[in-house]
Amino acid sequence: MPDFLERLPLRPASSTSSFDNEPVAGPSNGHYIANGHTETNGFRVTIRRVEPEGRGMYPDSTVDREEFVRLVLQGLRDVGYVEAAATLEAESGYTLESSSVADFRDCILTGQWGRVEASLTSLGVVMEEDLRYARFLVCEQKFLEYLENRQLDVALEVLREEITPLQQEAQRTHTLSGLMMCEPKDLYARAQWDGAAGRSRELLLNKLQRYIPSSIMIPPRRLETLLNQARQLQTNACIYHTSGRPFSLYIDHQCDRSEFPLHTTMILADHQDEIWHLAWSHDGTRLATASRDQSVIIWRIGADPNDCALEQRLREHANAISFVAWSPDNSVLLTAAEATIKMWNPKTGLCIKTVLGHEDTVCSLVWRKDGSGFISGGMDQKVLFWDKEGKKLDSLDAIPIRMSSVAISPDERWLVVAGMLANPSKLLVRAESSISSRSQSQSPRNGNGNQNPAFSTKHARFTVYDLQTKEEHASIDMPGEITSVAISGDSKFCLLNHSPDGVMLWSLEEPKLVRKYVGQKQTKHVIRSCFGGPGENFVLSGSEDANVYVWHKESGTPLEILQGHGEGSVNAVAWNPCQEAMFATCSDDHTVRIWGKDPPGFIPSVTDAAMEESLQQPGSAPREAPTLRWDDAREMFL
């Protein structure tokens, strides 16, 4: 046995520590002991306390040693190292929490409600507002448990004598009163509560802990929270982060630029005209591309550049196709051309149904998360709701926006619509109605390729609706035109392509501009941007200068200008949802490009080299490099 352990008479092993000294008031909120004993391998042992100089972890450290030790104690107990925690308590002289905190926790988890309420003030909840709300939470739990046990008289007394006088959350109190006659099975659903035997008491403890000073009662899983924050901080600082694999805490994380998809690995050139939109299937194995040539092509795309094939060509539309959208299970592909929506079986290439309902160009299609239906938005100022069979369910009519984009947040809380603010002027309406279908669904060009005069006084608007109630949450107007909306995976932000300001990041909860991404060119055409990479670390956008622009999302740092497409706009970009280093772009040059990392030993094929050469315009200098670094090109647009 190590010499610092003194063997004492044998006692039965215990899973908890046993100390001779009760906690005494010390320099750190009472979480300090003079010396202690613990049980190891059936022996009661005395642990000599270690007393380093100073209060920091190291002589030059700003990290408080007591906070560090208590966090480690909590982490050890969370993962089941109870004896190790007891030994650390004895050796360091610090305890995780006082006996009053342990008693408070036990009272909640065992339902001793009278003792819980009496303990709140002794644990540092002193602000009257906090104290009243904490008591409300306790009384609410107590009330629901009495209902669960069918003790209706006692529950009614708690409601009248304890909950109502607290005057907290009148609507919630009214809802609680409506639960009095519920059967237990209905109680759980209506109260969104899982019963005394579920996790409700644990959740109550977590809620109450917010009102107790953290120095007295450490928030749950605090060490894990700090480590996750460290990971996220390093991820955000890694401007080329493309690896979704976990990284070690032992060293600082940094991805190399070579890991980023900088190079064209495939060129798809089977369309005969401009390509306006593209979308990956949700399993990342198929890519649908929509073209002005009135066709949609479904491609099979593998990680290997040689694993690529044209699987289906969908041709039944009579007009240019502006949008495609895959169902969540990839069994149905939606396409839009002018006012017509079609539903396709992507495996057979057969049209399932033609869906009619809009009176003007359909600009956007988006599926509900559960696949139960989809939503369409059009320049007829309508948002239509459809079931999965293509039957109309509901609508938002007379929205004052000629929509260019519609999006649903992943949590299905928000519906965002954006486009040009409708002008009541009959003259302007007549001018707009004479513009070509490309002008309506893609870009306001006149016959000479210049901006159409009818659009010189455009004003844009994007509106955020509550998807459940269909009530307007917020609306923002700005000069110019918004051509696309993409919502982040956490449902907190939306990405707007705005002419002439470029790409912007807006928050949704309280709509406000968070960040602008500069450099991209957009004055006349519809350009659609996207989030990309693991954790959506990047923002990508096409541009009217034939380049693809990449920024770091959090910092706004411009990373790359990717060259390769021929003359014309790069109209849309889409990051593969399952390949962490692959995205696709489509252009007016009639091609789609797949971007990725060059695999080991990869040599461009003769076909690829010929394709590159064919994209060069007569008299233009050959493009020798596939990318143009931001620093080298800064003067091009500053």
* pLDDT per residue as tens digits for the range 383-398: 999 999 999 999 998 8
Confidence bin at 337 (pLDDT 50/70/90) = very high
Q: Is the pLDDT of residue 627 over 80?
A: no
Q: Is the pLDDT of residue 126 over 90?
A: no
Find out whether 540 and 517 touch, Cβ atoms under 8 Å: no
**What pLDDT, on a 0 to 100 scale, did the predictor assign at position 574?**
98
The gap from C-alpha 343 to its chain's centroid, in whole angstroms, comes to: 29
Q: Is the pLDDT of residue 575 over 60?
A: yes
Q: Is the pLDDT of residue 629 over 60?
A: no
On whether both 314 and 416 belong to a single domain, the answer is: yes
- 3 state DSSP class of 607: helix
Residue in the structure block whose two tokens are 């390769």: 564
- Looking at the domain assignment, is residue 382 inside a domain? yes
Which two tokens mark 630?
A: 């931001």
On whether both 143 and 73 belong to a single domain, the answer is: no
Percent of the chain past pLDDT 70, that is, above it, reads 81
Domain closes at, from 48, 64, 96? 96
Q: Where are the alpha helices (DSSP H) in 434-493?
A: 437-441
- Looking at the domain assignment, is residue 331 inside a domain? yes
- Looking at the domain assignment, is residue 254 inside a domain? no
- Mean per-residue pLDDT for 236-244? 82
- Looking at the domain assignment, is residue 237 inside a domain? no
For the purposes of burial, counting CB atoms within 10 Å of the CB of 601, is it exposed (0-12), middle (13-18) or buried (19 or more)? exposed
Q: Is the pLDDT of residue 75 over 90?
A: yes
**What pLDDT, on a 0 to 100 scale, did the predictor assign at position 423?**
66
On whether both 88 and 118 belong to a single domain, the answer is: no
Confidence bin at 119 (pLDDT 50/70/90) = confident
**What pLDDT, on a 0 to 100 scale, did the predictor assign at position 602?**
54
Compute the C-alpha angle 240/242/248, nearest 5°: 95
**What pLDDT, on a 0 to 100 scale, did the predictor assign at position 93?**
92
Q: What is the C-alpha to C-alpha distance for residues 404 and 480, in angstroms, rounded to an integer? A: 13
Neighbouring residues of 252: CB distance < 8 A, sequence distance ≥ 6: 234
On whether both 202 and 317 belong to a single domain, the answer is: no
CATH number at residue 297: 2.130.10.10
Q: Is the pLDDT of residue 33 over 60?
A: no
On whether both 205 and 337 belong to a single domain, the answer is: no
On whether both 88 and 168 belong to a single domain, the answer is: no
On whether both 325 and 355 belong to a single domain, the answer is: yes
Confidence bin at 616 (pLDDT 50/70/90) = very low
Percent of the chain past pLDDT 90, that is, above it, reads 64
| pLDDT, tens digit (0-9, with 9 covering 90-100), for 442-464 | 433 333 334 443 344 678 999 99
Q: How high does pLDDT run on average in the chain?
A: 83
Confidence bin at 247 (pLDDT 50/70/90) = confident
**What pLDDT, on a 0 to 100 scale, did the predictor assign at position 42?**
62
| pLDDT, tens digit (0-9, with 9 covering 90-100), for 404-456 | 999 999 999 999 999 998 863 433 333 333 333 333 344 333 333 344 433 44
Find out whether 314 and 296 touch, Cβ atoms under 8 Å: yes
Range of the domain at 154: 103-209
DSSP string spanning 56-80? Answer: BSSTT--SBHHHHHHHHHHHHHHTT
On whether both 29 and 49 belong to a single domain, the answer is: yes
**What pLDDT, on a 0 to 100 scale, did the predictor assign at position 379?**
94
- Looking at the domain assignment, is residue 10 inside a domain? yes
Q: Is the pLDDT of residue 607 over 60?
A: no
| pLDDT, tens digit (0-9, with 9 covering 90-100), for 83-108 | 999 999 999 999 998 889 989 999 99
**Number of independent structural domains in the chain:** 3
Confidence bin at 609 (pLDDT 50/70/90) = very low
Domain closes at, from 96, 125, 150? 96
On whether both 193 and 289 belong to a single domain, the answer is: no
Q: Is the pLDDT of residue 553 over 50?
A: yes
- Looking at the domain assignment, is residue 222 inside a domain? no
Domain closes at, from 96, 123, 149? 96
| pLDDT, tens digit (0-9, with 9 covering 90-100), for 192-224 | 899 999 999 999 999 999 899 998 999 989 999
**What pLDDT, on a 0 to 100 scale, did the predictor assign at position 177?**
92
- Looking at the domain assignment, is residue 255 inside a domain? no
Q: What is the C-alpha to C-alpha distance for residues 138 and 108, in angstroms, rounded to an integer? A: 9
- Mean per-residue pLDDT for 169-174? 90
**What pLDDT, on a 0 to 100 scale, did the predictor assign at position 32?**
44
On whether both 85 and 135 belong to a single domain, the answer is: no
**What pLDDT, on a 0 to 100 scale, did the predictor assign at position 242?**
82
Q: Is the pLDDT of residue 152 over 70?
A: yes
- Looking at the domain assignment, is residue 217 inside a domain? no
On whether both 374 and 358 belong to a single domain, the answer is: yes
Compute the C-alpha angle 424/430/436, nearest 5°: 125
Find out whether 359 and 339 touch, Cβ atoms under 8 Å: yes
Neighbouring residues of 592: CB distance < 8 A, sequence distance ≥ 6: 267, 268, 269, 271, 275, 278, 287, 289, 299, 584, 585, 586
**What pLDDT, on a 0 to 100 scale, did the predictor assign at position 21?**
39
Q: What is the C-alpha to C-alpha distance for residues 55 and 120, in angstroms, rounded to an integer? A: 30
On whether both 108 and 188 belong to a single domain, the answer is: yes
Find out whether 323 and 365 touch, Cβ atoms under 8 Å: yes
Confidence bin at 580 (pLDDT 50/70/90) = confident
Q: Looking at 46-50, 496-500, 547-551, 591-595, which range is the least confident one?
A: 46-50
